[in-house]
Structure 1
Amino acid sequence: MPAADRRPDDAGQASARSRRRFLQGAGAAAVVGAGGFLGWRALADGEGSGGSPGSGGNRVTPTPPPSSMADVVAYGAVGDGSTDDTAAFEAALADSPYVYVPPGSYVLSRTLEIPETTRLVGGGKYNTVLLHAHDDDFARLAARSSLAELSVEGQGSVHSGRGLVLSGSDGQQSLQAVSVVDFDGYCIDFESPDAGSQFRATQVDVGRTGGDSGSERYAVHISEDQQLASVPRSFVQLETQGLCAIDFGGCNDTYVVASTLGDLRFTEESRGVNISSSRLLNQESLTIAGHGITIVGCDIAPQLTIAPGADHVVLAPNAFNRLPVIDRSGNDRHQLPPDYGS
Structure 2
Amino acid sequence: MSVAGLTKTYRARDREVRALDGVDFSVEPGTVLGLLGPNGAGKSTTVKILTTLSSADSGTATVAGYDVAREARDVRHAIGYVSQKPGFDPIGTGVENLVLAGRVYGMSARTARERAGELLERFGLADSGRRLARTWSGGMQRKLDVAMSLMHRPQVLFLDEPTTGLDPEARADMWAEIAHLAADDGLAVLLTTHYLEEADHLAQRLVIVDHGRVVVSGTPDALKRGLSGDAIAVELADCSEVERASGVLSGLARVRELTRDLDTLRARVDDGGAALLEVMAALDAADLRLSAATVSRPSLDDVYLRYAGRTFASAEAASVPGGRAREEVAA
Structure of greater relative contact order (alpha carbons < 8 Å, 6+ residues apart): 2
- TM-score, normalization by structure 1: 0.29
Structure with a larger share of its residues in helix: 2
Structure (1/2) with the larger strand percentage: 1
